[in-house]
């Protein structure tokens, strides 16, 4: 009697997913290279654009166009001091273009000064504020042609009138008896500036 043949069991072949996985990774890598802009992400590009715009804005705000007309803004610079701490102004450096100077008091208050050459050739000096508007942050002057204008009330004042009178909306004068004039220099004592520093407590604190 012939024995029935046993059914031959075949092993189920396992599917190898490694090639498919490798191909998927390659496709994703290519997509990243193609789709992402060169030079970084969109956020980086935006930040770079903003930085560039900020730099341009700063340059434009600090630039002075001499041909634009209108008031010349107060570009105050630190006053030159001698060994005693007094402010020293070289007369030869002063022209009809007003020099705006700043003196830092012992209490940290910025004292504004101005010097200009009048039409008669003399150098006039004053505090860059006035008795009427004093106390306002805008109580300072800017130049407009051969005049200066108060930024608080808009009053216009001739350069020739600087150091000629007290009171009203005009720069508080620094008279001859309050300074030393040598013929080449004007020296304004530190003690005198310290005495008057309090009137600048709110000056330009916008």
| pTM of the shown model | 0.65
Tell me how far apart the alpha carbons of residues 59 and 117 are, in angstroms, rounded to a whole number.
Answer: 30
Strands 99-104 and 77-78: parallel
Instruction: Tell me the per-residue pLDDT of 152-205, one tens digit each, with 9 for 90 and over.
Output: 999 999 999 999 988 888 999 999 999 999 999 999 999 999 999 999 999 999
Instruction: Tell me the per-residue pLDDT of 82-91, one tens digit each, with 9 for 90 and over.
Output: 999 999 999 9
Tell me how far apart the alpha carbons of residues 159 and 84 are, in angstroms, rounded to a whole number.
Answer: 30
Quickly state the pLDDT bin for 4 (edges 50, 70, 90): low
Using an 8 Å Cβ cutoff, are 193 and 99 in contact? no
């Amino acid at each position: 009697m012939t024995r029935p043949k046993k059914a031959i069991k075949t092993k189920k072949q396992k599917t190898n997913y490694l090639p498919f996985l490798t191909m998927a990774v390659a496709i994703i890598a290519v997509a990243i290279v193609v789709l992402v802009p060169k030079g970084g992400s969109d956020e980086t590009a935006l930040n770079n654009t903003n930085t560039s715009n900020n730099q341009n804005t700063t340059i434009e705000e600090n630039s002075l166009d001499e041909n634009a007309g209108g008031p010349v803004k107060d570009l105050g610079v630190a006053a030159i001091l001698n060994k005693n701490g007094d402010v020293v102004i070289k007369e030869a450096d002063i022209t009809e273009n007003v020099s705006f100077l700043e003196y830092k008091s012992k209490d940290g208050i910025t004292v504004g000064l101005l010097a200009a050459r009048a039409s008669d050739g003399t150098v006039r000096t004053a505090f860059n504020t006035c008795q009427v508007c004093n106390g306002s942050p805008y109580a300072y002057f800017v130049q407009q042609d051969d005049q200066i204008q108060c930024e608080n009330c808009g009053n216009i004042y001739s350069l020739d009138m600087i150091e000629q009178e007290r009171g009203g909306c005009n720069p508080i004068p620094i008279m001859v008896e309050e300074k030393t004039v040598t013929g080449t220099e004007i020296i304004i004592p530190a003690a005198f500036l310290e005495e008057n520093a309090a009137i600048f407590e709110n000056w330009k604190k916008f």
